[in-house]
Structure 1
Amino acid sequence: MSTFEVRWLTAFLDFPADEFGSEVTFWRAIAGSTVSPPRGDKRQFATLEPFNGDPHLRVQRLESGNGGVHLDLHVDDLDVAAREAVRLGASETHRYGDVVTMRSPGGFVFCLVPWEGQKTRSRPIRWPGDTISIIDQVSIDIPARAYDAECEFWQRLTGWELTDNDSPMFRHLDRPDNITIRILLQRIDSGEIGGHVDLASTHPSDEVSRHEDWGAEVVAEFPNWTVMEDPTGRRYCITSRNPRTGELPTA
């Protein structure tokens, strides 16, 4: 059991500087959000503000690197949380003001940040045609060799129950009801640990068409999800999960 409580989760989309403007435009449109004024000493951060609930998506402009996605864990006491994360096998890589940057045992980047009272889960957006969707999940994509240990780390760090999905490729953590972002743990055959975001949608085919209108492309289709690439090649998935519960439809 963790010695601290994860009060809130934020998915952070990290964009290279030369793609930042176009990426923010795309993801703002897909999320159905507005964009906050920039902040940070280099104006490198912004929040995708939902129309209801507390924000759960943020963006960052990177000075170098290809970008990706990381998680922010909002906690009451940074030092307590950092010590616990290290005890569980994480490594601290950097401190910047009130942000502690860490890596999980498998190498996935996450940050510990102060909790600022966020507590209200966002509701899905209803689009023309009656499709309802929300960006509500970060998938941590874990090489098979590290999968079990990484799953155990995230379960112990968050204190949330680890649940097996129908497929042995997937497990997820049962988030508290008020938190928007869900953590999916996906086993991959090879490669390095990484992550991507997923949407839940009541009408995935309509959702795919809407994203294609914004410049995204279909990469692969599966029974319950479609792999997409945004206009700059960043992969994500549109799923048939219930946008309100996060669960797949029953057969």
Structure 2
Amino acid sequence: PVTYWTFLIGGLALSGFPLTAGFFSKDEILAKAYEFNFLLYAIGLFTALLTAFYTFRAIILTFHGQPKDRKLYDSAHRESSVMTTPLVVLAALSLLGGLMGLPAALGLPNWIEGWLEPILEAGQSLTGEMRHAALGTEVMLILASSVIAILGITAAWWVYVKNPQIAERVAAKYHSAYTVLFNKYYIDEIYNKLIVEPGKALGRFFYRVIDKAFIDDVMVDGLAKVTKGFGATVSGWQSGYIGNYVMGIFVGSVVIVVYFFLR
């Protein structure tokens, strides 16, 4: 239950549902986009609609749909406080966090904007003086954001709860497009082929050739083997027999005499 309700609250905020934290932040972004360029505002509004739709699609299919793996579903256990405590905190912020940034154009306190004012003032020389939209415009933008969020949520409910056959028909009719979208434009596969697999191959090369063959076998183990072999050879001379030492001194002396004689 805790996971469901916190997920639902987070989904409402992500969708920009009125009075949630996500609503105020999204409304602020859309308002600035509207002041700057109407096309950007329209794109943002459409994106907000899609966000509300796919967010509640996830909620509906996850918590109200049928499990695809009954074995995993039956083996699921209740969440622990280690998981639920952060979820509750985040859900509370999702509900109440927007109160720190109420629309200033409506005469409401906007603590976030006031807190960032020293930073924003520094950039006014580049962007121009900050202006708030007129009251009527601000109300219109707030209503538009609210309608878009509610419309996206309602559309998800209509498609995946009320008429689930719609999604099936659309997927069958536009199978190619559905396949591309279902596979996320094959971004994962492309990334895996171009980045992951070459990266793994390069890693294996460095491990086998550079790390293991050169550093371990040649530099570390190789030098150790040479030192060990040299030590074993030299240690053979340390036999403990005085006769061997005398013979060594004699041979060395002869070599030195011959060397200086032949110079």
TM-score above 0.5: no
Structure showing greater relative contact order (alpha-carbon pairs closer than 8 Å, 6 or more residues apart): 2
TM-score (norm 1): 0.20
TM-score (norm 2): 0.20
Q: Which has the larger radius of gyration?
A: 2
